Structure 1
Amino acid sequence: MQNNQMKHVIRGAWILSLSTLIAKILSAVYRVPFQNMVGDTGFYVYQQIYPIYGLGMTFALSGFPVFISKVVAETDDPLEQKAVTRQSIVILTWLSWVIFGLLQFGAQSIANWMADPELVSLIQVVAYMFLTMPVLASARGYFQGTFDMVKTATSQVTEQLVRVAVILVAAWLSLREHWSPYQMGAVAMGGAFLGGIVAILTLWRPYARAFKGAPKANTSPMSYRTLGRRFLVEGGSIAMFSAMLIFLQLVDSFTVKRGLTAAGVLEPVAKSLKGIYDRGQPLVQLGLVVATALATTLLPSMTSTLQRRRMGQFAQTGGILIHLSLGVSTAATAGLIILMPAINTLLFGDTAGTLALQIYCLSIILVAMINAYNSVLQSLDQYRTTTIALAVGIVIKIVTNQALVMQYGTVGASASTVLSLGVILNIVYLAVPSSVKMRGALRIFLPRLGASTLGMIALVAASVYWLPLTGRLSAITITILGVVVGVISFIVLATLFRVFTIREVLAIPAGRTFLKWLNRHHNSTTTH
């Protein structure tokens, strides 16, 4: 019975991980055709407001649902689970209306702080999506807490598909009807609310069926005060950490364009430069996809070993998570940096802002490691340190960003992001138990990883060096060749240098198949 339940939990975690992966890929990929249709200035307009939308999406998609599922899973009584969920709806309804009011009535002030008064309508449109947050977060949290992941997964993918469709249709209509970038942006942001409504509709029938005849919220085992405090401490920490990069992007929205104009850059040029700088966000998101998938794949295993009080196995799984996250993110970052001129040309049509984008891509390693260490701390129910780390990182970004932009342009904004994430990583690292850090293993692991990565960089550089970058056609050739050489060379070098242990390779999807092939190849060569 226990074994069947564990299989059910792990299967559910896989379904949810896959849907989250699809949602992240959709969220990153649509921006490429969108930027190509609306140009750098249109992309700037959209990206200025995107962090506000991103916060709402994260709260409703992964932040608060994770916390609510945790609270629901703490009790075995179905009636109490439903009562806690209803309490959560009440708390989130108050929160959503406060945020909605601040955005609606404070839109003019926010737009002025962003140094662009024309953004008012976009801010007011995106405010409506926060009204969908209470039902979405609570329903997803309830179903996750009762291990019914399919409903949450379906609503996630549906919401993203609708939102992406509206955004791309808005971009197409703006070209056809000759809309201004701000008209286009307001329609595109309407996709956030429409996507939320469609997601609610996918959840409504099973949610209404589950809660038919359920008791009122006042039958909950927790008072509103106790649950509210937990929402603030635990829920706030989970939600804020899920939106870590979005908070840093929000600081960029308030300071990058302002810093550029303060340095003497003309208004239209500053908007275009900010749009070019924003190209880095989908690249970093895609780079993080694999590392994020590893974290979500190994998290159920860590939680189950902790519940069984197998601390040795917990530390071992945590160590695997850290090694794999560091290895995969380092390879992805190195590949993106070396191929950035070609990737920039292929996706966006030119090499503008390449240095800023290369520096920004260092975020992939830092965020992957922060997420890995944070997964360990969340499994141990430690939230205080991660909240402090995030707060310190955001303050550093706020303090340094505009000054660095005025001095170094968008390269300074990238450097400020990397600095902030570096500080967050150091604080989080200090809080992780020494048994999980595996310092001894890292002393062996890091030189091997470094040698494999440098070897990969050298081989990729040598393979594409002789190809001139003349346009998108040549960029396709360079990118495909570079990616193929990079993947193959890293796998070969990592195998030769024994970067990953057998246990770590087995934790990777298709790792078992790779080891079988390697053994067969080794046996055939020794036979001959």
Structure 2
Amino acid sequence: MGKRNVNTTLQGALILSVAAFIAKLLSAVYRVPFQNMVGNTGFYVYQQVYPLYGIGMTFALSGLPVFISKLIAEAPDLPSQQAVARQVYRWVWALALVLFGGLMVGAPGIARAMGDVQLAPLIRMVAWMFLLMPELSVGRGYHQGQFRMLPTARSQVVEQLVRVVVILVAAGWAVTHDWSVYRMGMWALSGGTIAAVAALVVLPRWRQPEVRTSWRLPHLGRRLLIEGGTLCLLTAMMVLLQLVDSFTVKNGLVAGGMADAAAKSLKGVYDRAQPLVQLGLVVAVAFATSLLPALSEAQHQQRPKAFKRLTTTMMRIALMIATAATAGLISLMPWINRLLFGNITGSWMLGVYMLSIILATLIQTYNSVLQSQNSYRLTVVALVAGLVVKAVANHWAVVNFGASGASWLTVISLGVTFLVIWYGSDVTLRTGIWTRSYIRTLLGCTILMVAGVKAAVVILEHWWPALATGRLAAGVGLLITIPIGVAIFLGLALSWQLLSVREWLAIPHAETVLRLWQKLSQHGGK
């Protein structure tokens, strides 16, 4: 029976992981055609208010359902689970009403603080989504707590699909009917509420006729605030940094002497970084956390050596993939920028922002390790420290260094967060993870990959001048240079034994790469 429960849990975790991957991928990819349709200023309008929606999505999509599922799983029987769900439902409704009322009443003040009073209707549009949060978060958490992951997974994917369709239809309609960017933004943001309704339609009902039970969870409000709030805060890390940008980047550019319209356009360029960072994070974290179920099992069975070995493997894989992805994105940023967004404006500040992929990946991966030990406080302290640095210094950085200052502050604040987590955690968890040999080898692989890619770029631009100006040509250039970069990095990493064979095999589908490398090595040795 125990084995069956473990298998059910692992299968459920896999289903939710795949659904989360699809949802995050959709959330990253749609921004590119959206920006292409509405331009820099239209993208600015949407991205200014998006972090408010992103926080609500975190509550309903991942943070609260995970916490609620833990509460449901603690209850001894079905009537007790129903009782717990009803208790939580009342608390979440209270939270939802406070957030809804705060956004509705405070919309003009929030818009003024963002430096654009025309954003008030968009903020009020986002507020409606919070009224659907109780049903979604409790419904998902209830089914997860009973180890039924498919309803949650289905509702997550449907929600993101419907939202993306609404956003892109609104953008297309706005362009063809000559709407203002603010009207377009309001309809695009309505996608959050429409998508939440669609998710509710496919989510099975969780409420059943009430059965009397004496089971009650003590201190539920406090647990919801501390444990649930912590999970939501950690999940919304990058969104919270974007929220600080919404209040400081455009205002800082204007304070630094830029015209209002130019500041809005540049903020839209700055926001091009979001889909690129999100894609990098999705890939790196997905590979690194594929070992999470095994890590949780090792912790549950009290096998400290296995736990440490898996932690080391996860962190090494995370740093390797994130570093390679970041270096590749920075090296090819002008071409990527031109292909996706039509020009190379802001390539430098976007390249700086890409450094956050490494730090955010390490934070999320290491936080997964701490969560498997039910340790939350350290990560919250670390995240708050990073947010304070960003909030205090961001306006000053933008005034003095332009939008690039905001990119650097994002990287610095994530660096502060990671350092607090790293040095605040148990010494046994951080010793021996990244040896000097590992770091030297990783740097060598990365530097030579960048050199190879840059050499390929110079040669290709010399032979084909259109690469320096053409959008389609940039796409062809990327199809050539990306495989070159991947081949150089992988070849060096395998030759120099950056990871052990066991660590390579922990990466999904790495076995095929190892077999191919073995054949090539044997062929080359003859």
Q: 1:431 aligned to 2:427?
A: no
More displaced, 464-473 or 510-519? 510-519
Which one of 197, 208, 211 corresponds to residue 212 of structure 1?
Answer: 208
Q: 1:367 aligned to 2:360?
A: yes
CA distance in 2, matches of 1:441, 1:346: 36
CA distance in 1, matches of 2:515, 2:85: 47
CA distance in 2, matches of 1:295, 1:14: 14
SS at match of 1:265: coil
Q: 1:285 aligned to 2:272?
A: no
Stretches of structure 2 that go unaligned for 5 or more consecutive residues are none
Post-superposition shift, 1:289? 1.0
The answer to whether the 8 Å contact 1:319/1:438 transfers is no
More displaced, 475-484 or 433-442? 433-442
Residues 124-156 of structure 1: per-residue CA shift (max 9 Å, x gap): 000001111111111111222222111111000
Aligned to 1:54: 54
SS at match of 2:230: helix
Aligned to 2:17: 17
Post-superposition shift, 1:33? 0.5
Post-superposition shift, 1:494? 0.7
The answer to whether the 8 Å contact 2:288/2:507 transfers is no
Which one of 401, 411, 433 corresponds to residue 408 of structure 1?
Answer: 401
CA distance in 1, matches of 2:252, 2:501: 50
Residues 179-199 of structure 1: per-residue CA shift (max 9 Å, x gap): 000000000010000000110
Q: 1:275 aligned to 2:268?
A: yes
Matched to 1:125, the amino acid is: M
Matched to 1:96, the amino acid is: A
Equivalent runs, 1:328-343 vs 2, <5 Å: 328-343=321-336
Q: 1:3 aligned to 2:3?
A: yes
Evaluate the alpha carbon distance shift between residue 340 and residue 219 of structure 1 in structure 2; reply closer, same or farther with a 3 A threshold: farther
Equivalent runs, 1:186-335 vs 2, <5 Å: 186-203=186-203, 206-208=204-206, 211-215=207-211, 219-223=214-218, 226-335=219-328
CA distance in 2, matches of 1:60, 1:440: 35
CA distance in 2, matches of 1:426, 1:272: 34
CA distance in 1, matches of 2:519, 2:75: 49
What's the TM-score, normalizing by structure 1? Answer: 0.96
Q: Percent identity?
A: 47
Q: 1:493 aligned to 2:492?
A: yes
Equivalent runs, 1:442-521 vs 2, <5 Å: 442-466=435-459, 467=461, 468=465, 469-521=468-520
Post-superposition shift, 1:434? 2.6
Residues 358-381 of structure 1: per-residue CA shift (max 9 Å, x gap): 010001000000011111111111
Matched to 1:220, the amino acid is: W
The answer to whether the 8 Å contact 1:56/1:130 transfers is yes
The answer to whether the 8 Å contact 2:316/2:434 transfers is no
CA distance in 2, matches of 1:70, 1:389: 24
Post-superposition shift, 1:78? 2.8
CA distance in 1, matches of 2:80, 2:285: 33
CA distance in 2, matches of 1:444, 1:519: 23
SS at match of 1:191: helix
CA distance in 2, matches of 1:433, 1:496: 33
Aligned to 1:91: 91
Aligned length: 520
Evaluate the alpha carbon distance shift between residue 359 and residue 86 of structure 1 in structure 2; reply closer, same or farther with a 3 A threshold: same
CA distance in 1, matches of 2:283, 2:125: 33
The answer to whether the 8 Å contact 1:103/1:123 transfers is yes
Residues 269-328 of structure 1: per-residue CA shift (max 9 Å, x gap): 000000000000000000111122134422221111111111111111111111111110
Matched to 1:49, the amino acid is: V
Stretches of structure 1 that go unaligned for 5 or more consecutive residues are none
SS at match of 2:414: helix
The answer to whether the 8 Å contact 1:111/1:117 transfers is yes
Aligned to 1:137: 137
Evaluate the alpha carbon distance shift between residue 332 and residue 395 of structure 1 in structure 2; reply closer, same or farther with a 3 A threshold: same
The answer to whether the 8 Å contact 1:13/1:297 transfers is no
CA distance in 2, matches of 1:13, 1:285: 21
More displaced, 41-50 or 135-144? 135-144
The answer to whether the 8 Å contact 1:115/1:257 transfers is yes
Residues 7-41 of structure 1: per-residue CA shift (max 9 Å, x gap): 22111111111111111110011000000000000
Post-superposition shift, 1:219? 4.0
What's the TM-score, normalizing by structure 2? Answer: 0.96
Matched to 2:256, the amino acid is: A
Residues 154-194 of structure 1: per-residue CA shift (max 9 Å, x gap): 00000000000000011011111110000000000100000
The answer to whether the 8 Å contact 1:295/1:372 transfers is yes
Residues 193-214 of structure 1: per-residue CA shift (max 9 Å, x gap): 00001101111xx334xx4234
Aligned to 1:128: 128
Post-superposition shift, 1:503? 1.6
More displaced, 482-491 or 400-409? 482-491
Post-superposition shift, 1:76? 4.2
Evaluate the alpha carbon distance shift between residue 250 and residue 503 of structure 1 in structure 2; reply closer, same or farther with a 3 A threshold: same
Post-superposition shift, 1:353? 0.7
The answer to whether the 8 Å contact 1:154/1:202 transfers is yes
Post-superposition shift, 1:521? 4.3
Matched to 1:475, the amino acid is: A
Aligned to 1:354: 347
Aligned to 1:165: 165
The answer to whether the 8 Å contact 1:170/1:188 transfers is yes
SS at match of 1:439: coil
Evaluate the alpha carbon distance shift between residue 77 and residue 519 of structure 1 in structure 2; reply closer, same or farther with a 3 A threshold: farther
CA distance in 2, matches of 1:219, 1:10: 32
CA distance in 2, matches of 1:518, 1:82: 54
Where do 4+ consecutive residues of structure 1 move more than 4 Å? 520-526
